Structure 1
Amino acid sequence: MKKKGLYYFRSIAIVITMAMLFYSCADSYKRVGDEAIKKIFPSAVAEDFTLTYTETDELEKNEGVVSAHVIAVLTSPISNDFDNLAFPHRTFPDGLMVEFFDEKGEKSTVTADYGIIYSSTNLIDLQGNVVIETSDGKKLEAPQLYWDRTNDWIFTQEKFKYTNPEEGTIMDGEGMDFNRDFSFFNANKTYGYMSIKEKKIEE
């Protein structure tokens, strides 16, 4: 009887010890996990943010005359500045709009639900309902686009819809790259064209 009681006592002691050990490990893991997650805060937050991109004419610059013209204006309700990090960037959590101006001063617009500017690479990542509309009526819609500011090039690997009123067509595809004014447009994969021109009815 004594041996049986001692056996039960040892079993209970082992169970309690294991439970304490498990609880201790779980608590320690939780605390270490919380400490490992570093909360990142922006160094600055700007409301009604506006960023203007200008370009200097090289010929006038060589002649000693310095003048610049606006090539793009970026506006957003709010901007978070993370330029203090190892990989500096700026985010636009409430969306943004970019207005492009060509040499004639004609305007094209880009809108998106979210955006990131990577300062070190001059790359803008546009996400969510991205729409580009040119001054001559061309329209591109995609879930995500990248704008390379250094080379003035736009590209994506996502699906897109391209409407060209000049040709009267709508093109669906996946993956493409093009320059800002759509004078060069390369689609990786297309699903077909659809004519949007209305035929005149002959009487």
Structure 2
Amino acid sequence: MTLLKKYQTLTVVTVFAVTLFFGCESNFKEVQKINFSEFIPSGDADKVNLKYTDSGRISAILVSPKMLDFSSINFPFTEFPKGIDVTLYDIKGKKTFIKSNYAVSYKVTSIIDLQGNVKITSQDGQILETEQLFYDQKNEWFFTEKSFKFTDPKGVSNGQGIDFSKDFKIINSQKIAGEVISAD
């Protein structure tokens, strides 16, 4: 009789343990779901054509096949996974053209990260090509630590690390090599 009671007790304990185990598994998965925040965009747009204005004049036109807006997260940003084509206008209407395969615009810092076949062309014929370039919107300033090629009517130079104003009037390069024709 004691063997039967031990067997019954073992069966009850086993059933209780299995029930508890599956009950905890279910609750554990629910807790995981509560703590998991999905990283999905709050906005998704195809064939974007945005015009930015300042005091009634167009300051930039941005064209992109895809835009993802992540403005509802702690560090909001806008992503352009299929690239961008931007035209910047200065006060006199002079244009600067920017193309890249990918871009991210961070709202808090006002920095745009351009990646993949980045090419900037000024209306004066100056061209900068690199694989990654950052644009500080507040200061209207471009910069990179990556290798670059800069083509100017005066010549072609290559280097690593450059920063410059959006109109190419101020250019600071770090490591540079190439031929440039002197104005003298």
| TM-score, length of structure 2 as denominator length | 0.76
Q: Matched residues in 2 for 1:195 and 1:83: separation?
A: 45
Q: Which runs of 5+ in 2 are unaligned?
A: 1-24
Question: Any residues of structure 2 matched to 1:3-82 within 5 Å, and which?
Answer: 39-56=38-55, 68-82=56-70
One-letter amino acid matched to 1:193: G
Question: Any residues of structure 2 matched to 1:1-203 within 5 Å, and which?
Answer: 39-56=38-55, 68-165=56-153, 167=154, 169-190=155-176, 192-194=177-179
Deviation for aligned residue 1:51: 2.4
Q: Matched residues in 1 for 2:168 and 2:76: separation?
A: 30
Deviation for aligned residue 1:72: 1.1
Deviation for aligned residue 1:146: 0.6
Q: Matched residues in 1 for 2:149 and 2:117: separation?
A: 11
Instruction: After superposition, give the CA deviation of every residue in 1:83-112 in whole Å (9 maximum; x if it has no partner).
Output: 000000010001101101123323220000
One-letter amino acid matched to 1:114: Y
Q: Does the Cα contact within 8 Å between 2:157 and 2:180 map onto a contact in 1?
A: no
- Count of residue pairs brought into register by the alignment: 152
Q: Which runs of 5+ in 1 are unaligned?
A: 1-27, 57-67, 197-203
Instruction: After superposition, give the CA deviation of every residue in 1:161-190 in whole Å (9 maximum; x if it has no partner).
Output: 00001x1x1000111110011000000111
Q: Matched residues in 2 for 1:177 and 1:155: separation?
A: 4
Which structure's residues are more often strand, by fraction?
2
Deviation for aligned residue 1:134: 0.6
Q: Matched residues in 1 for 2:70 and 2:112: separation?
A: 14
One-letter amino acid matched to 2:175: K
Question: RMSD of the alignment, in Å?
Answer: 2.1
Secondary structure of 1:137's aligned partner: coil
Q: Matched residues in 1 for 2:59 and 2:51: separation?
A: 8
| TM-score, length of structure 1 as denominator length | 0.69
Q: Does the Cα contact within 8 Å between 2:64 and 2:85 map onto a contact in 1?
A: yes
